[in-house]
Amino acid sequence: MGRVTRALLLGAATGAVLGTMARALMRLVAIGMTIETQFRVGASLAIVALFVVSGAGACVARVLDVSTRTRALVVLGSSAPLALMGTAFAIDEIGDVMDLEFTPPWTAELLFLASVILALMLATPYAAWRAAPTERPPVRPAPSETGDEPLVALRWLMDDPGG
């Protein structure tokens, strides 16, 4: 499997996990606000799909052999829909919580949950970027394995950054 394919799958999995967590918290906020909205599978899949696209884009951007500017554009392009939706959700939920007259502890709890959801949305590209498989430099064989002279072996030891 190629490194881009691995990154795509790993980023999608990271986004799916964080998206599922965020969607569960969204349901908790709706239940906590006593909003009896009907659970819709399509809406849940759309929300999780935004997380998947964001995670996959960030993870693939890290392994691409392109300039830093291009990597940034890939991350921004894949994460923009999630960031826009997350900001709109946070503003809407915070406004709804402040409009309803809950007790201060309950209001604080709902605002905390809304802020955790927003944090998950903003952290998804970073988490996927960090989860991307990174290539390690090839290991140089020891001079004794290559049949080089002892002087070359000494030079190899002096040049070795890990030794």
If DSSP codes are grouped into helix, strand and coil, which group holds residue 47? helix
pTM, to two decimals: 0.76
CB 97 within 8 A of CB 45: no
pLDDT of residue 139: 55
- Tens digits of residue pLDDT in 104-149: 888 888 889 888 998 999 999 999 999 888 765 555 655 555 555 5
Q: How far apart are CA 6 and CA 2, in angstroms?
A: 6
Confirm if 52 and 23 have CB atoms less than 8 A apart. no
